[in-house]
Structure 1
Amino acid sequence: MSQNTPHARAKHPRTALAGPYGHPFHPILVTIPIGAWIASLVFDIIGLVSNDPEPYVRGAWVLIVIGLVGAVLAAVWGFIDYAQLGRSTAARRTATIHLTLNLGVVVLFVVDLLVRLSADDQDEVSIVGFVLSIVGLAVLGVSGWLGGKLAYRYGVRVADERTQMEGFR
């Protein structure tokens, strides 16, 4: 496969910062915000049914902050991979939607955090924050599906088929 085709370029990092060939850093970094934000929702649910919700309320907003930091890191590495995609390709269009949805999710969680921190009662689960988390995670699920499409259907940053065959010999 020629290195000059958009498909071949999408498999190889432009810089070592993106992760070595066949081992991109972006997919592992996305586990930080996904895990933190799911855990924050779990803390909200526990806080809603708990007799003492205060530790879960605080834990939820700390997890949202961790998710936001992780999202910024994942975005930096995701953009490095995005820059490799050929313009006017289906992969680039999919990645643009993926990127846009993720930026929207970050905005939702920033608003979610601000709602929680500005609440009059910091010892109770914020229902508005809870709903924002659910919406944010739903959008994140759609974006994650598109990220999977980029990797598993279009092969972005995935080793080429000849390299993959090594595992089946």
Structure 2
Amino acid sequence: MLHRAVDRFLERQRWLEPLADFLQKIAAAIYKGTAGHALKSFLNGTWLGHPLHPVITDIPVGAWTLAILFDLIHLANRGSAVWIDGATLLVGVGVLAALGAWVTGYTDWSDTYDRERRFGIAHALLMSTALVLYIVSFFLRLPVAGHAFAIILSWIGYVLVITAAYLGGELVFNIGTGVNHHAWQTPPTEWTPALRESMLTEGKPQKADVDGTPIFFCKRGTSILAISNTCAHAGGPLNEGPLQGDVITCPWHGSRFDIRTGAVKGGPATVAQVRYETRVQAGQVEVRRAPDSLQPS
């Protein structure tokens, strides 16, 4: 299988590890503090409720694909400058969008480890090289429309883009980077016993597995609050993180959630936690997914 061969190849590239360490240290410095965390959440797509990076990536890929088509039409019909001018414009649009994709992708990648980190940095290196080629191609095209070397550079860049896109697909569909970690869970929709009320301590996070679904509990006076215990971002256990007021912070990457609503209060998470209704029957806490949960089942 191709993905296994790629996996083995990347695992042998030991030089990627120190480079990844260095780049992640830079990201940690950039996104340090309140302002840095807010910027990181924005680039992650927390405000959008969806990762921002894949929203942007379609633009350069689409623009550069059309640019190749326009180049080919120009080469077949040299009597018209419309097509090569259009290709130049598309290359420029792709470059601008790719810069945004680079920043958002780097931000998402800064929270990865091990195998996904290797795939991510290989993806980034290929895309960065392609971006440089397209930038050079764009400026070569300006004074001499249809410059042969500029066209060749953009075509080489496109091959790198397709290769990088394959690695990006592996990250999401094979490794599961950036996907909603609630997607495979089946939260109870009917009242289901979870734990004894006596197991709960005021203001202290508690986890219980309900039919295979980990649920976070916290007692607040006469109320018992419950949301998914699995962080939507990367699967971290919320009950092991610090609780400040009504906000729980994931111990893995620092995503923050409102334990009353499940809403995301800070990235890198972009998807809300499942919220559960609770009731006490004969000393037993029962739960069911709230109909108005911000995260549907």
The TM-score by the shorter chain falls in which range? Answer: 0.7 to 0.9
Gaps of 5+ in 1: 1-13
Could you tell me how far 1:57 is from its partner in structure 2?
A: 1.2
For residues 160 and 89 of structure 2, what CA distance do their matches in structure 1 show?
21
Considering fraction of residues, name the structure with more helix: 1
Query: Amino acid of the residue matched to residue 106 of structure 1?
Result: L
User: How many correspondences in the alignment?
Assistant: 147
- What is the aligned partner in structure 1 of residue 123 from structure 2? 98
Match of 1:112 in 2: 137
Provide the alpha-carbon RMSD of the alignment. Answer: 2.0
- Amino acid aligned to 2:85: R
Per the normalisation by structure 2, the TM-score is: 0.46
Could you tell me which of 99, 109, 114 is aligned with 1:82? Answer: 109
After the TM superposition, which residues 128-143 of structure 1 pair with which residues of structure 2 at under 5 Å, given as runs? Answer: 128-143=149-164
Q: Distance in 1 between matches of 2:104 and 2:51?
A: 9
- TM-score normalised per structure 1: 0.79
**1:23–1:158 contact (8 Å) kept in structure 2:** no
Q: Which letter does structure 1 place at the counterpart of 2:137?
A: D
Structure 1 counterpart of 2:96: 69
2:165 alignment partner in structure 1: 144
Between structure 1 and structure 2, the one with the greater Rg is: 2
State the AA in 2 paired with 1:159: N
Cα separation, 2, equivalents of 1:19 and 1:67: 21
| Contact kept? 1:46, 1:53, Cα under 8 Å | no
User: Which letter maps to 2:174?
Assistant: R
CA distance in 2, matches of 1:23, 1:164: 18
For each residue in 1:112-162, what CA deviation from the matched residue of structure 2 results, as whole angstroms up to 9, or x when unmatched? 11221232xx3xx332222212211101111000101111111111012x4
One-letter identity of the residue aligned with 1:15: S
Hey, which of these two has a bigger chunk of strand by percent?
A: 2
Matched, 1:33 2:60: yes
TM-fit CA distance, 1:23 = 2.5
* CA distance, structure 1, for counterparts of residue 115 and residue 160 of structure 2: 21
Q: Per-residue displacement from partner, 1:47-95 (whole Å, max 9, x unpaired)?
A: 1122532111111111111000000011111111011112xx0110111
Provide the C-alpha distance between the structure 2 equivalents of 1:16 and 1:68, rounded to a whole number of angstroms: 21
Ranked by relative contact order (alpha carbons within 8 Å, sequence separation 6 or more), the top structure is 1
Report if the CA contact (8 A) 1:22-1:158 is conserved.
no
CA distance in 1, matches of 2:78, 2:143: 22
